[in-house]
Amino acid sequence: MIVRNQQSWFRLLFVWNGSVLQSILPQLLFIGTVSCVAVLTHGRIFGEKIPLNTTLLTLFGLTLAIFLGFRNTASYDRFKEARYLWGNLLIASRQLTSQMLCYIPRQEDVQEMARLIFAVVYALKHELRHTDPGEDLRRFLGDETAGRLMDRVYRPSELLHELRARLTRLNRGGQVSDAQYWTLDAQLVEMGKAVGGCERIAYTPIPFAYSVLLHRTVYTYCMLLPFGLVDATELFTPLLCLFLAYTLIALEAIAGEVAEPFGLAPNALALDAMACNIERSISELCGLPLPEPVTPRLPYQLT
């Protein structure tokens, strides 16, 4: 995710890193070329004038803008829910650690289970990003346990099961009462809900047909636009069409990035920083060494 200091209004006009302009520049060059062709041919294709006017384009553009608005809302809802789930994971992890420190007599047991919580968080991060969790798992669990987990498909669920099994053994051994056990288990349930919610978002994309329809409509409109404006705007047609195309194509590109909140795109969630924040918070509670925080590097940082 890109993190920036507050920019002045003037500098914000020329921001490059973090803007979707980098990814849509070829499309804009194509629309600019089509606009120049429309100016040179006076709105004709193979000698025939295309019967378009600004009124039709305005009505079509208004409908398209509403459609894009719904698409961006749906995408941002996924992003917002993903951030909410990671916030719940932080809260449940803190509460579980605090309760274990109060209920479980041996500090060593609590620290071992805290490392399991770290492993859950980092395993989830890697699962959502489809990256290799081996290094992080070995850091928290050791080579043997990490090697066993690498054979699993749903590693966060396996780690939560191990946490519950350890609490169950403490309960059966009389170190944790039944009431305390159910309190601790309730926090594990909350962590499981957060894990499952993230998996639901990651593995249930916005329907492909919906994205294709919007994509085709945006590009069809942008290619027809110069032929409808050329009579009214003449030599200014390429400039106006590029501005309008930038707005529409950029909105579609932003919606595509935000709809995948766990990816590595500049506008995805900062999972590295959030996972590190959970680790630091729990380490402080347990008296473990705090890792270095993930902080932004100027002028921006991808995390």
Q: Which ranges of the chain have pLDDT less than 70?
A: 1-18, 296-303
Q: Is 23 helix (H, G, I), strand (E, B) or coil?
A: helix
Please, are residues 101 and 286 in contact by the beta-carbon 8 Å criterion? yes
What is residue 206's DSSP assignment? P
Q: What are phi and psi of 49, to 5 degrees?
A: -75, 130
The string over 232-262, giving b where at least 16 C-beta atoms fall within 10 Å of a residue's C-beta and e elsewhere, is ebeeebbeebbebbbebbbbbbbbbbbbbbb
User: What's the CA dihedral at 83, 84, 85, 90 to 10 degrees?
Assistant: 90
Tens of pLDDT, residues 157-188:
999 999 999 999 999 999 999 999 999 999 99
Which residues have C-beta within 8 Å of that of residue 164, sequence separation ≥ 6? 185, 188
Output the pLDDT for position 162. 95
Tens of pLDDT, residues 55-99:
778 888 888 888 888 888 989 999 999 999 999 999 999 999 999
Q: CB-based burial of residue 269 (10 Å sphere; 0-12 exposed, 13-18 middle, 19+ buried)?
A: buried
* Predicted model pTM: 0.85
What is residue 285's DSSP assignment? H
Q: Whose CA is closest to 99, among 195, 178, 187?
A: 187
